[in-house]
Structure 1
């Protein structure tokens, strides 16, 4: 059987913004003890999750990421507001969202990544796109089985942080990551980095 690694493409969140996200987690943790809050610094925003990719295909994935990045110019994006999947009253994932003018070029970057991955026969497991940074997940075993504790309702907390923002940063590259699952949560290692284009070097798909 071919060796594989869990692989995804993402945008890194810079340290100053990551620090604000970590501080937010610290404020939320005592309010929502049912969640395990990610040790995510530096945080990232996933553009495409590929699942298990054979080692022999990793170079093609990294090249596709680099080519997609070169079709998009650098842009500013803002992390703001909180949300939950699948819905606030029965959450399994808590996240910080994105808003402002940067959402449109972010969607364009996502489309370029998906298109280039499809071209090499490695489309993402899910092409739906809700840009977010994961903050925490419901602890294992919660909300399951006959004796399970119901997930918390995050509606009030999300409303309280409706106007919260971690600030803006420049999206300058796409990063290909491998991900290893551990009892403490996933650990990530960068495989390759593909810089976005400047106004002068942008290429067409």
Structure 2
């Protein structure tokens, strides 16, 4: 019997930025006792979470992503700030934020609409781009949300990155790292 797996579309993070956050994580792990820290090779910025999908639907996604990527130029993004989702005292997700980007907003909107047309049941909440760093607060004390703005972070000048691709990933929950790139779609191939 064939089993479905989860898929999502995302912006990959450059190796240099992954390395900065890996080094930062090692410094912060004791201060921020989350139950799970994301493997640095799994860092990404999700565009759309697709969930389970049969092979034929995944092929449809690939066809659409080639078209969308070709019609969006490469652009620059900057990771900036820290935040969380969930209860203030015990967050479920701890993340690095992304500076506001019109290019990212347009790209994500086009991808979202294409995936909806393909029949995917997508998240209805407003898009909030971020890179997940850790999950499930495990401290014996409340999460120190008041000190997030003062918290030491990787140096700003190294957190800017060129976005040249979007990636279709497959999730393998029993592995680490757990996200496998299946297809890469280059931005801006319709240069006229």
Provide the TM-score with structure 1 as the length reference: 0.82
Structure 2 residue aligned with 1:63:
63
Deviation at 1:54, TM superposition (A): 1.2
Deviation at 1:97, TM superposition (A): 0.5
Asked if the contact 1:65/1:175 (under 8 Å) is kept, the reply is no
**RMSD between superposed Cα atoms in Å:** 2.4
Deviation at 1:55, TM superposition (A): 1.9
Counterparts of 1:8-157 in structure 2, within 5 Å, are: 8-41=8-41, 43-99=43-99, 103-126=101-124, 128-138=126-136, 152-157=142-147
Separation in 1 of the partners of 2:125 and 2:60? 19
Unaligned runs of 5+ in 1: 143-148
Q: How many residues align?
A: 190
Greater fraction helix: 2
Deviation at 1:163, TM superposition (A): 7.3
Separation in 1 of the partners of 2:142 and 2:55? 40
Provide the TM-score with structure 2 as the length reference: 0.87
Deviation at 1:2, TM superposition (A): 5.5
Unaligned runs of 5+ in 2: none
Separation in 2 of the partners of 1:67 and 1:76? 20
